[in-house]
Structure 1
Amino acid sequence: MSRIESKVRTLARESKEMRSAIETVLERAEGGDVKWVDVRDDITSGQWGRLIEKEILVDGDEGFRIEDITGVQAGLEAESDYEYEEIETTSWTKWDKGAGLFTLLLFIGYAFSSVRDVIGTSVDLVIGPIDAVLPFYAVIMVLALATGLYSSLLRVGLMDMEKMGEYQARMKDMSSRRKEARKSGDDEEMDRLQEQQMEMMGDQIGMMKEQFRPMVWIMFLTIPAFLWLYWRVWDGQGAELGTLVVPFAGEVTWTTGIIGPIQMWIVWYFLCSMAFTQIIQKGLNISMSPTAS
């Protein structure tokens, strides 16, 4: 595949209008040469500019000429049956919806001590033996390690990175085209792109669904552990946890506000969680960046 054919195929996939513009330029070209006056009634200045930018049209003796007529024809022929279909969104299963509902109910635990007691004592059956043999800072490190591990695995297992890449590629392309139309002052192209952007609202909703699905399961597992920490510090035997020495703050308790009202146990948990998540993703070669096909 030649360079020009590849560029024509990419442009032809942007929209039916862009494909039609390329066909118009090819049809009006005489011996490969074409002028803006020959096509301005049928294509927009933005589309004309895209062809120049992609070097499909280059400077000629009189106006412009098509760089590679054969490549343009091959590119259009290859994309002649291309259909502009919506990206199929991922459907949530009944388990996903159930986990989401349960996660919402778990938030009640932060407001009612009776709920914290039930969840705290239940989770303590699992974490209690670890808490009995390790200092509290190490217990938080263990929870942060577990959080980083299952968070990374759930994102990989439940989020379709290829589909996310398609969503982001479409939005990036739309942003680029709007920028070019605004720069060239092409109001007609801006109006058309505005309509397309409104039609792409479904893509934004689909991307949010892709991102939120693994988050539901992550919160489903994390909130009980976080509530146990809250219960352990405030409702359990928090006074027995002792003090610790931290940079700039000196000797503090686990309930001391370190960053404004944010207490020491929360700061330590998030620092450990972020660090372990990075280590796990590097160690397991897990990429969180979407990839387009």
Structure 2
Amino acid sequence: MSDNQTEKKAKKKGGIVNTIQNIILVLGFGIFIASIFLPPWFRDTMSYYVNIIVSPINATMPFYIAVLIIAAIVTVASTIIQKYTMDWDLYRRVMQKNQAYQKEYREAQLSGNKKRLKQLEQEQLSMMQDQSSMSKQQLKPMGFIVFVSIPLFWWAYWYLQQPGVYTQMIFPLIGTITMTDSFLIFPYWVWWSLICSMAISSVVRKALNTGAVSPS
């Protein structure tokens, strides 16, 4: 196969992948907007169909364990997607540049070096191109995350309103709580979901070497 044919094939494959990513992105944010602005029947219907998929997990264990397992599945899947849809070399380069820039800018401010401050302001303009490129890349996996996490969020809210659902658990550092009770505005089940996601994400990201930035 010639180089031209290989390049055309790679471009075609890349175009298909980008199209799929854009579709998921649109669907994800479409679901997010619809779940906020449409009447409750939309959220209830969505939650009902999500429950059909999730019920094999949820039916055999307490709700908080089901949340832990679902958080693990979503976090692993989204991290893998992030790993292969983002340019992590660019990400690390931009973050390291930002760290170095902030440090040098503070030093120039403290020393009153107006000439260096002006130079740094010019350098910031050149850094914006890489930052813009990185922001566009971050939208790609965001589509999948929103597409999956929003229906699961509303499913959990819907499920906990069903009669006969046992909603208590022993919460870290607090003791036995009812998961539908609120703490700092949000119900405990939301905090539990966030704790699970952050803990699992930290382990998975380290294992897959995504998002790590060496300190400057």
TM-score normalised by structure 1 residue count: 0.57
Report how far residue 175 of structure 1 moved.
4.1
Give the CA deviation at 1:247: 5.4
Q: Does 1:255 align with 2:192?
A: no
Distance 1:183 1:232 in 2: 55
SS in 1 for 2:59: helix
> Which of 145, 149, 152 is matched with 1:222 structurally?
149
Shift in Å, 1:209 = 2.0
String of CA shifts for 1:154-192, please: whole Å, max 9, x gaps: 221112111112323443454455456556655344334
2:82 is the counterpart of 1:144: no
Q: 2:29 aligns with which of 104, 110, 113?
A: 104
With over 3 angstroms needed to count, the CA separation of the structure-2 counterparts of 1:128 and 1:191, relative to structure 1, is same
In 1, the alpha carbon distance for the partners of 2:46 and 2:176 equals 31
Whole-Å separation in 2 of the counterparts to 1:244 and 1:188: 59
The one-letter amino acid of 2:197's match is S
Offset, 1:149: 1.0
Q: Structure 2 vs 1, CA of residues 219 and 140 (structure 1 numbering), >3 Å: closer, same or farther? A: same
What is the rounded CA distance, in whole Å, between the counterparts of 1:280 and 1:188 in structure 2?
Answer: 44
Given candidates 212, 232, 243, the residue that maps to 2:159 is 232
Q: Distance in 2 between matches of 1:180 and 1:239?
A: 61
Q: Distance in 1 between matches of 2:97 and 2:171?
A: 47
- 1:77-226 pair list within 5 angstroms: 93-107=18-32, 108-110=34-36, 112-175=39-102, 178=105, 181-182=108-109, 185-226=112-153
- Aligned with residue 269 of structure 1, among 190, 193, 202: 193
Relative to structure 1, the CA distance from residue 145 to residue 160 in structure 2 (aligned partners, 3 Å threshold; closer, same or farther) is same
> What secondary structure sits across from 2:165 in the alignment?
helix
- Cα 1:186–1:254 shift into 2, 3 Å: closer
- SS of 2:141's equivalent in the other structure is helix
CA distance in 1, matches of 2:72, 2:89: 27
* SS of residue in 2 equivalent to 1:289: coil
Moved beyond 6 Å, runs of 4+: none
TM-score with structure 2 length normalisation?
0.75
- Where does residue 288 of structure 1 map in the other structure? 211
Alpha-carbon distance, 1:134 to partner:
1.9
Q: CA deviation at 1:139?
A: 1.2
State the superposition RMSD in angstroms: 2.9
CA shift for structure 1 position 121: 1.5
**Letter aligned with residue 289 of structure 1:** A
Q: 1:233 to 1:260 in 2, by over 3 A?
A: same
Q: Which runs of 5+ in 1 are unaligned?
A: 1-90
The answer as to whether partners of 1:241 and 1:254 remain within 8 angstroms in 2 is: no
Aligned residues: 197
The answer to whether the 8 A contact 1:162-1:290 is kept is no
2:179/2:187 contact within 8 Å kept: yes
Name whichever structure is richer in helix by fraction: 2
Higher-Rg structure is 1
Q: CA deviation at 1:265?
A: 1.4
Contact 1:154/1:218, CA 8 A, preserved across alignment:
no
Closer/same/farther in 2, CA of residues 110 and 250 from structure 1, 3 Å limit: farther
